[in-house]
């Protein structure tokens, strides 16, 4: 019997058009269902919305082979740093390698999700290599810059004193800005001089306890007296606007820049609440603090980030020693040159 030749049924696959804006909203909703922190969701949204804006301005749909590559090139070599922050002007072109790598990481995660959901056939961020980062570079306030910021607020009025106390807490604990503005009266123990930062507001979702100095504790007590917060008002936010509403971090960050301008001091470091965190960490180590204790206070998941502060602090100590070394100061430079001859 002659073999029957079966016909193959024709199948048609309808390719769906990729809608970047809709995909972003679906992705954000997925992350909410996964109970990611609001901070993480905010970061995802900011990164993806900025990418979507770039695509729209450059007539890209977000599913082209080179759409991510073009965006990374723009962010690295064309974008003016902080051009979307009117209070933080900068002439620097291109953002840091660390920031670029965060963008690449977030876009890879987004497109991997979109691929699994069959919204796109491939990941345009997959072949984008991470950029080489400069190790152990931080913008650290000098003691003079910190003093200039502390002197700037008008401490005779509530809003000035509030910002002054907030800077004290940042200097004394190195906590993140989001943690600071989320603090409630029940988190602060003035008797034992410590602040309990609950898991719900930390980056690592782990509760931690940070000590505070007597000076900071006294400043907080004075602030509580001014706003009328009692010890049993556990759920009351401690940093408020002049209208009694919660005081948010972005407003405080803008006020810091105003204080820097008001002080008239020539700041070299970036004036930002997060720069206080770097300052605290390096100062803690310079003054003999234990790196493991620093990891616990800052809330790092492991020693990797803390070690960067350790290396930075050591390099600064070597530099300072070179400048103040007794040998360098008493031996003329001309006697340090040449080789030693044995007779």
pLDDT tens-place string over residues 45-78 = 999 999 999 999 999 999 999 999 999 999 999 8
pLDDT digits (tens, 9 = 90+) for 97-106: 889 999 999 9
Burial classification of residue 190, based on how many CB atoms lie within 10 Å of its CB (0-12 exposed, 13-18 middle, 19 or more buried): middle
Predicted local confidence at residue 170, as pLDDT? 95
**Backbone φ and ψ of 246, nearest 5°:** -65, 140
Long-range Cβ contacts of 34-40 (<8 Å, 24+ apart): 37/203, 37/205, 39/178, 39/203
Confidence (pTM): 0.67
How far is 298 from 174, CA to CA, in rounded Å?
A: 6
Query: Which residue reads 């930002």 in tokens?
Result: 272
**What are the tokens at 23?**
């995909």
Q: Which residues of 25-54 are buried (b: 16+ CB within 10 A; e: fewer)?
A: eebbeebeeeebbeeebeebeebbeebbeb
Judging by beta carbons within 10 Å of its beta carbon (0-12, 13-18, 19+), is residue 71 exposed, middle or buried? buried
Asked if 259 contacts 153 with a C-beta cutoff of 8 angstroms, the reply is: yes
> Which of 109, 103, 102, 99 has its CA nearest to residue 50?
103
Q: Are 221 and 214 in contact (CB under 8 A)?
A: no
Rounded to the nearest 10°, the torsion over CA 104, 109, 110, 113 is 150
In the block, residue with structure tokens 């604990």 = 173
179 pLDDT tier (thresholds 50, 70, 90): very high
> At a CB cut-off of 8 Å and minimum separation 6, what does 211 contact?
173, 193, 194, 297
Sheet order of strands, 194-197 included: 188-189, 194-197, 208-211
Place of tokens 């040998």: 327
Rounded (5°) CA angle 83-89-91: 80
Looking at the predicted structure, is the pLDDT value of residue 184 above 90?
yes
Bridge partners of residue 33, in order along the sequence: none
| pLDDT at residue 328, as a whole number | 61
**Alpha carbon distances (Å) from 311 to 135, 285, 342:** 9, 10, 39
SS3 276: helix
In this prediction, residue 343 carries a pLDDT of 43
Q: Is the pLDDT of residue 10 over 60?
A: no
Mean pLDDT of 209-225: 95
Q: Burial-class residue 264 by CB neighbours within 10 Å (0-12, 13-18, 19+).
A: exposed
Report the Cα 74 to chain-centroid distance in Å. Answer: 22
Residue 109 has pLDDT above 50, yes or no: yes
122 CB-near residues (< 8 Å, 6+ apart)? 65, 115
Chain-centre distance for alpha carbon 261: 22
pLDDT tens by residue, 270-295: 999 999 999 998 898 888 888 888 88
The DSSP 8-state label assigned to residue 171 in this structure reads H
Q: Is the pLDDT of residue 324 over 60?
A: no
Backbone angles phi, psi at 195, to 5 degrees: -120, 130
pLDDT one-digit tens code per residue, 219-237: 999 999 999 988 888 999 9
What is the DSSP-derived secondary structure letter of residue 237?
B
In sequence order, the 6+-apart residues with CB closer than 8 A to the CB of 323 are none
């Amino acid at each position: 019997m002659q073999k029957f030749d079966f016909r193959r049924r024709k199948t048609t696959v309808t390719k769906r058009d990729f809608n970047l804006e809709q995909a972003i909203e679906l992705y954000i909703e997925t992350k909410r269902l996964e109970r990611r922190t609001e901070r993480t969701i905010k970061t995802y949204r900011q990164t993806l919305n900025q990418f979507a804006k770039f695509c729209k301005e450059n007539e890209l749909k977000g599913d082209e082979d080179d759409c991510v590559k073009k965006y990374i090139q723009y962010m690295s070599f064309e974008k003016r740093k902080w051009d979307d922050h009117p209070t933080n002007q900068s002439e620097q072109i291109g953002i840091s390698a660390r920031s670029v790598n965060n963008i690449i990481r977030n876009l890879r995660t987004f497109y991997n999700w979109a691929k699994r959901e069959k919204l796109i056939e491939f990941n345009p961020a997959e072949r984008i290599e991470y950029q080489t980062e400069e190790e152990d570079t931080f913008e650290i306030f000098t003691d003079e810059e910190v003093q200039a910021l502390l002197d700037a607020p008008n401490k005779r009025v509530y809003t000035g004193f509030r910002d002054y106390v907030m800077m004290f807490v940042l200097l004394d604990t190195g906590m993140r800005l989001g943690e600071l503005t989320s603090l409630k009266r029940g988190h602060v123990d003035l008797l034992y001089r410590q602040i309990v930062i609950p898991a719900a507001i930390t980056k690592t979702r782990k509760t931690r306890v940070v000590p505070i100095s007597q000076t900071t504790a006294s400043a907080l007590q004075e602030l509580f007296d001014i706003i009328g917060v009692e010890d049993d008002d556990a759920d009351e936010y401690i940093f408020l606007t002049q209208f009694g509403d919660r005081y948010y971090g972005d407003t405080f960050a803008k006020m810091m820049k105003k204080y820097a301008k008001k002080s008239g001091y020539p700041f070299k470091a970036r004036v930002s609440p997060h720069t206080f965190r770097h300052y605290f960490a390096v100062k803690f180590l310079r003054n003999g603090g234990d790196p493991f204790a620093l990891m616990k206070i800052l809330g790092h998941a492991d020693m990797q980030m803390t070690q960067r502060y350790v290396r930075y602090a050591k390099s600064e100590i070597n530099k300072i020693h070179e400048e103040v070394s007794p040998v360098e100061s008493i031996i003329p430079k001309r006697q340090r040159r040449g080789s030693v001859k044995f007779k």
